[in-house]
Amino acid sequence: MATLRDIKRKIDAVKKTSQITKAMNMVAAAKLRGAQQNMERFHPYAEKFNEVIDRLAEGVEDAGQYVLLTPREEVKKIELVLVTADRGLCGSFNNNLIVMAERFLKAKQAEGCQVRLTAVGRKGGDYFRRRTFEVRKRMTGLLNKPSYEDAAVLGRELIEQFEIGECDEVYVIYSRFLSMVRQQATLMKLLPIAPTKKAEAEEKARLEYLFEPSHEALLTDLLPNYVFIEILESLYQTAVGEHAARMAAMENATSNCKELVKTLTLTYNKARQAGITKELMDIVGGAEALRK
């Protein structure tokens, strides 16, 4: 049976752990506010940019002249960009992304495709490196402060790989932020770019647009930027999801610490009472022996 000293040490250790988890919760909450504000500012721009690309791409008569719009006749090589966090202690956040990536890799390999991995975030890269899977490139620190420059660096490399035939398709797995308590692992096809299908009623209601400079010049210039913006959007969404998941995990950990302290305190009091009762019985027994 644990001694009073052992129980007291456990209580002190749990209280210190509770202080750490509470501090981490507060840090995650502060980071979440900033990241969420940046995401909410950027999201309308990304949506409007996608509408422009859809409009331009649907008006193309010969899509074959644009490499980024042209699907390959045979898909044999696939590049997967997995966006995870650099740190843990955020519940099942990273695990959900990694599980989706594993399922995707196994499914594509079963189809006879060669899949390479670009790991954005330390957790995803470490996981697949330990399993001797081909990780073509690892990038860390992008979620600390997502920027257009970082997204453009990654986007240009993926576009180059696609244009020279090193990959036939490019996919991105990231965490889509739905609410403070829900983040959804999402698979997005990045290349080749596929215009969004619109409803017929919406198509009929559309206005005619005049383009300046030419339609072709605009599309040539904007297609790479579409790739950069989609990557940046995935970074923003994943960053916000990471902070929200960590805040929830640390809040649960703090609550569990408080419950454990209550349980250990109750155990400590029971053990102390048992010790006091035993001492009293020894005293009473000694007194009775002296009487005799």
Residue 68 is given by DSSP the state: G
Nearest of 229, 220, 270, 228 to residue 60 by alpha carbon:
220
Residue 153, number of CB atoms within 10 A of its CB: 14
Would you give the distance in Å from CA 5 to the centre of its chain? 42
Nearest of 193, 198, 209, 257 to residue 57 by alpha carbon:
193
If you search the block for the tokens 């940019």, which residue do you land on? 49
Q: Determine phi and psi for 77, rounding to 5 degrees.
A: -120, 130
C-alpha triplet 125, 129, 133: angle, nearest 5° = 110
The amino acid at 201: A
Return the exposure string of 34-56: e unless at least 16 CB atoms fall within 10 Å of the residue's CB, then b.
ebbebbeebeeebeebbeebbbb
Return the exposure string of 242-272: e unless at least 16 CB atoms fall within 10 Å of the residue's CB, then b.
bbbbbbbbbbebbeebeebbeebeebbeebe
90 is catalytic: yes
Q: What share of the chain is helix, strand, coil (3-state, %, to 5)?
A: 65, 15, 25
Catalytic residue among 90, 113, 167, 257: 90
Known catalytic residues are 90
